[in-house]
Structure 1
Amino acid sequence: MKPYQQIPIAECGEPLLPIPPDSFSLVLPHPYEALGAPYGDKSPFYVRESVLGGLVQAQKGLHQQFPGWQIQIFDAYRPVSVQQYMVDYTFQVEVQKLGLLPENLTQSQREAILERVYEFWAVPSFDPATPPPHSTGAAVDVTLVDETGQPVNMGSAIDEISPRSYPDHFANWEDSEHHCYHQYRQRLREAMMRAGFQQHPQEWWHFSMGDQMWAWLIRQKNPGEAAIARYGRFEEKG
């Protein structure tokens, strides 16, 4: 169990709403759908109502400072079945990187690789007390698009299993190229956090509002504040 999963959830019942494609840049085709992830009739480009409001606010603030720039949505709502699919897929990729075969892994090798995967991917839990952040509709994976409509090079790819994914990885690099990566990450973080989001400590692209991680991060910054989550795993009524 990760520390944030101990935060209590008081589900508020907000609906999932579509992220309007005319207001945001969406990564299409969706990367996980292209891999065969089982979304069924669900769409990854949905978030809870207040989260959508936060995205609109973040985009507005970004525009005010950097006209023409946009927040690009890589991923948002993710059913637990998709979380499981992507954990399994990432595990296989990490095994291949090591030049190993899944069927020949020792127990210690398997555990070491899973530990590496779970540093960046939440456990695909169906327990209502420990939902993966994306299954709540409160988490988004985002990047930036510049005034020419081109995705900005942020120094590492979204979902990269590497220390380069840590938000401040490039903070102390002195050369101009790597310093730019840090500046762009700061630009994204400032836009999102001014709108009420919190950033995943190990992923420059992952922000959330209203889930367990969001509440836990608020508590870390303000120990006297007993923030709780208002979104659990999204389940359709009826």
Structure 2
Amino acid sequence: MPKRPYHDVLINECEEPLVEIPLDEFAVETPHPYQKLGAPYGQHSPYFIRESVVKKITKAQEYLQNQYPGWKIQIFDAYRPVAVQQFMVDFSFAQAVTAKNLVETELSEIQRQEIWSEVYKIWAAPSLDMQTPPPHSTGAAVDITLVDATGKPIDMGSPIDEMSDRSLPDYYLNHSHPQASIYHANRQILRRAMYKAGFCRNPGEWWHFSYGDQMWAWLYNLANPENPVEACYGRLL
């Protein structure tokens, strides 16, 4: 399992509780995409997150609606126990094997490592080490997109969780695709709203934003080296 650069950030857990996201205030995919697959969420639904993160995503939506009346943030995923992270990593590996018309039991070691490398470009390792928690397992990260005033999804040029370079936030910047400028502009609308509320975006995923976890602190510190911070959210059991 790969170690990420942000895993070197210290965690000073603040003990803030998980709270339920007020789904009536946001757009939401129902049923939840991972629950449909059988992911083991246990006592919490996928739509829980840290208390301060709920407040910040509400502020992000307020900013969004000031610019685009009626638009909403659509919550795709939020708190994710490590068991769910493991489930989705394994599911994504199996999907990748099938997409390549391969059979898992017949994979060479090189093929296996190449596919795992693809998986871990998108998915954090399902680590049980308290010093290297998956971002979603801290209750600090959200996977989101946007819908317009009619509830129609805003086209971002690729679906959430796609294991390809199209997931990179700036993939469509200066791209030759005829809709590239629209896709990039839409991603920037999402980014601006979330950054206004204090979030940072995963450098490899246009849809993943967090506040208070190791990734957030690492990105914040890169931009503000004179005033470094620690992560305030660690893994929840």
Q: How does 1:1-238 map to 2 (within 5 A)?
A: 1-173=3-175, 177-235=179-237
AA aligned opposite 2:164: S
Q: Which range moves more in the overlay, 181-190 or 217-226?
A: 217-226
AA aligned opposite 1:78: R
Q: TM-score, normalised by structure 1?
A: 0.97
Query: Does the CA-based 8 Å contact 1:167-1:204 persist in structure 2?
Result: yes
- Alpha-carbon shift at residue 176 of structure 1 (Å): 5.2
Aligned to 1:82, the other structure's residue is in SS state helix
Number of residue equivalences: 235
Q: Matches of 1:170 and 1:5 in 2, distance apart?
A: 29
Aligned to 1:142, the other structure's residue is in SS state strand
- Alpha-carbon shift at residue 224 of structure 1 (Å): 2.3
Query: Does the CA-based 8 Å contact 1:218-1:225 persist in structure 2?
Result: no
AA aligned opposite 1:36: G
Q: Matches of 2:24 and 2:144 in 1, distance apart?
A: 16
Percentage of matched positions with identical amino acids: 54
- Alpha-carbon shift at residue 174 of structure 1 (Å): 5.5
CA-based RMSD of the aligned residues comes to: 1.0
- Alpha-carbon shift at residue 26 of structure 1 (Å): 1.1
Deviations 1:167-217 (A, max 9, x none): 000111366522111010000000001100000001000000000000000
AA aligned opposite 1:104: E
Aligned to 2:24, the other structure's residue is in SS state coil
Q: Matches of 1:95 and 1:174 in 2, distance apart?
A: 30
- Alpha-carbon shift at residue 30 of structure 1 (Å): 0.2
Question: Structure 1: 5+ residue runs without aligned partners?
Answer: none
Query: Does the CA-based 8 Å contact 1:80-1:126 persist in structure 2?
Result: yes
Aligned to 2:179, the other structure's residue is in SS state helix
AA aligned opposite 1:116: E
Aligned to 1:85, the other structure's residue is in SS state helix
Question: Structure 2: 5+ residue runs without aligned partners?
Answer: none
Query: Does the CA-based 8 Å contact 1:38-1:82 persist in structure 2?
Result: yes
Q: TM-score, normalised by structure 2?
A: 0.97
Aligned to 2:231, the other structure's residue is in SS state coil
